[in-house]
Amino acid sequence: MNIKKSIIALISSLTCFSCYSSENKITSESKNTNKTPKNILILMAMQEEANPFIEKLNLKKEEKLSLLYRNKYYSGNINGNHVYLLLNGKKGNTDYVGSEATVISLVLGIEKFKPDILINVGTAGALTKSGIKIGDILNISESYYLDRNIPIPDYKIYSEGHFKANLLDNKTEKHKICSSLSFVTKENINNKMESLGCEVFDMEAASFSFISSEANKKFYIIKGVTDYVDGEFNAVAFQNNFKIVINKLAEYVKNKLENIDLN
């Protein structure tokens, strides 16, 4: 008799567990379905940097962003969110790298796509003593202007930048980046990088951060390291590293966008 009661109790508990699991699954699916899709704008400077992203994210080429400028963009969906990949554009074989093209692109992109989230992705250099390795993918926590100098006390922060970014991966190490108008740095510039606490160098992050902050948008900066800025620049080594890094960048960002909650 006790055995019979035990079997009945076990069957009842399993049935209840099954119902509970089904309810949980339905609730979970309902939550996912009810999530408001985000508009994600990814800004990149160079077409070659962007090609792996276009392929891995299965993005579609769209019309020009503006009749007046050379910017172009691609669009697609990932994890239920709308993704727009915006490029600064190019003239002939020359990509429009640097701050001016970045500002134009981002202002136009924000006005057109009304993004909830902005992401700047690209390649960068690092200081040798930082311990950062070629090929490392970095989450940037703060960006600075490297070669902008206004020696007036009230303009110190404006001159240097001090823009704080969000992190796609909160468990990763944080890194500060300095942005310059020049591709290759000089000794006095490297010294300023150290004084600002920067370990990483690029040409766009600070301008991207300035516009993002002014627009009151949530923004992220992801950089892949191709070379050391305090060593002799080697064009052949840079190109070889560049090809490896841009693929790692695309895979990293794709994985993050597929697996994190951006709400």
- 37-53 pLDDT, tens digit each: 999 999 999 999 999 99
Question: How much is the pTM?
Answer: 0.83
Rounded to 10 degrees, the C-alpha dihedral 112/107/205/75 comes to: 20
Nearest to 203 by CA among 239, 177, 227, 233: 177
The pLDDT of residue 25 is 39
> Tens digits of per-residue pLDDT, 55-67?
999 999 998 888 8
First to last CA, the chain: 55
Q: What's the CA gap between 153 and 241, in Å, rounded?
A: 41
Least confident of 51-55, 167-171, 186-190, 256-260: 186-190
